[in-house]
Amino acid sequence: MKTIHVESVIHRNEKRIKLIFKYDQEIIDKIKALPGARWSQTMFCWHIPFREDYLSDLAERLENIEIVHGKPPEKPGTGLKESDSVRRKINVIHNIHEGLYFLKIPYSKKDEIKKLEGAWWHPGAKKWSVLANPENLTQLREIFDQENYILSFIKDEGETHGKVIQKWKPVPELVEKKFENEMILRNRSPRTIETYKSLINRFLDHFKGMEIKVLPADEIREYILERVNVDNYSRSYQSQLINALKRYYEYVHDREFEDFDLPRPEKKQRLPNVISREDIQKILDVTRNMKHKTILSILYGCGLRLNEVIGLRIEDIDFNMNVLFVTGKGDKQRMIPLGNNLVRQIERYRKSYLPKVYLFNGQGSLRYSGKSIQNIVKNKAREAGITKGVTPHTFRHSFATHLLEDGVDLRIIQELLGHSSSKTTEIYTHVSRKNLRNIRNPLDNLRI
CA 248/CA 179 separation, integer angstroms: 6
CA 394/CA 397 separation, integer angstroms: 5
Q: Of the listed 305, 313, 367, 378, which one is catalytic?
A: 305
- 271 alpha-carbon distance from chain centroid: 20
CB 223 within 8 A of CB 181: no
Strands 65-69 and 2-11 come out as parallel
CB 148 within 8 A of CB 23: no
Q: Look up 305 and say whether it is catalytic.
A: yes
CA 445/CA 39 separation, integer angstroms: 61
Q: Of the listed 101, 149, 237, 428, which one is catalytic?
A: 428
Of 381, 309, 294, 298, whose CA–CA distance to 345 is shortest? 294
293 phi, psi to nearest 5 deg: -65, -35
Q: Look up 428 and say whether it is catalytic.
A: yes
CA 390/CA 275 separation, integer angstroms: 8
Q: Look up 223 and say whether it is catalytic.
A: no
Helices then strands, counting H and E runs in the chain, come out as 17, 13
Q: Of the listed 61, 71, 378, 393, which one is catalytic?
A: 393
Q: Of the listed 18, 221, 329, 378, which one is catalytic?
A: 329
CA 83/CA 21 separation, integer angstroms: 6
Q: Of the listed 202, 227, 396, 397, which one is catalytic?
A: 396
Catalytic residues, which ones? 305, 329, 393, 396, 419, 428
